[in-house]
Every structure is written in structure tokens, then in C-alpha cells.
Amino acid sequence: MKIFIGLIRRELVLALRHAGDSVAALMFFVIAASLFPFALGPSAQALTRIAPGVVWVVALLAALLPLNRLFGADYEDGSLDLLMLSGIPASAVAFAKIIGHWLTTGVPLLIAAGPVAIMLRLNGDAVPQLLATLLPGTLLFSLVGGMSGAITLGARGGTILLPLIALPLMIPAVIFGAAGAVSSHPVSEFSMLFALLAVFFPLAPTAAGAALRAALA
């Protein structure tokens, strides 16, 4: 456990040293969402209707941006070999890096989502429900994205393959999350989000660990 916590701490330190990836994801989220009022016009009714979907889709795309370097940087400089020899399972190494991605990308997106939703004219009373759906949603983005990043590690055209693998697996989360953000009784939508989380929580680190071992074989 001490090694696992140390790996998470290492990810946070690296994220602070190379903050450009997290800042770029956050800036992309804010700027991309800001373009919709220019395209659709200032109609409050139109913006309010699409705000939850816009926030969800743009958050998904922003979460994908740092994934190329999630394992890639350590793979290129040889650090990943040392991490695999640290005495904990490969799945735990992958899980620590996935947690690091969520803490440095998912949490900032959650914090920014409220002001962005208000900018898109979403009713202030609906913002907490939107954020409640995004909490498991960003966790799913990190789990699926981390698994996809490990699977494409070292592959030719991995930058292109990563979103092709990750996006189809993330679409159900977007569907239920955006629907749950606007539903008056979102029990079924939240149930589906947490069901997806229950599936990927054990599956993603296990698959990512196996992919890391294969990439270093």
C-alpha cells in the first residue's frame, strides 16, 4: 500500500512539474464550450437546452488530451520498466496512474464545469445535478482512457487508435450522464452510470496491467 500511495504521489508531482497537459485540457474544455454561444446565438432557451450535453461531450474530449502521455512518457524514458519492478502488480501500477489522471484532469474539469454550465445559461439550480453526474463520469473517462492508453502503448499510430478505442466505450456514459443531468427523476440514469463504474473499476486496471506487460515484453 505504501508503494501504491507513493506511485500516486509521484504522478501528482510529475503533473505539477509538467502542468501543461492538465492546463491544456482545462483550457480546451473552457474554450470549446465557449464557442457554442457564438455558433448558436445568444438565445437563452437554446443554450439552456443543450448545456448539459455540451458540458459532457467537451469534458470527454478534454479528458482524452493528456492520455497519450499517461503511460507514453514513462515508456519512452524507461521509467515504466522500473515501475513494473517496484514489487506491486502491473494492474496496481496502471490503477495508480489512472487515479493520477483523474486527480489532475478529472477534478479540474469538475471544478470548471459549474461556471461553464452557468455561462451556457443553465439554471443555477440544475448545476449540482450536472456535477453529480459528472463525478462518476470523469472517473469513467479516466478508467476507460487509462485502459485504452495502455492497450495502444507502443503501437504504430497509437495516437489515432487511442480515441478510436476509448470513445465507443465512453459513449454510454455520455448518454446516461447527459440524460441524468436534465431528468427530474434521474434514478435510472445514475444507476446506469454506477453500473458502468462497477464494471470498469476492476476491468480497466486489470486490462491496462496486462497491456503494459505485453508492451514491455
- Domain span at residue 177 reads 2-216
Q: State how many domains the chain has.
A: 1
Length of the chain: 217
In this structure, are residues 145 and 166 in contact, taking their beta carbons and an 8 Å threshold? yes
HSE-CB for 194 with a 13 A CA cutoff: 7
Distance, in Å, from the CA atom of 67 to the CA atom of 148, rounded to the nearest integer, reads 9
Residue among 149, 3, 17 at smallest CA distance from 82: 3
* 178 burial level (CB within 10 Å; 0-12, 13-18, 19+): buried
pLDDT beneath 50: ranges in the chain: none
Distance, in Å, from the CA atom of 92 to the CA atom of 119, rounded to the nearest integer, reads 39
Res 98: pLDDT: 94
Amino acid, single-letter form, for residue 147:
M
Residue among 85, 64, 78 at smallest CA distance from 160: 64
For 102, the grid coordinates are 483523474
Residue among 198, 206, 25, 199 at smallest CA distance from 101: 25
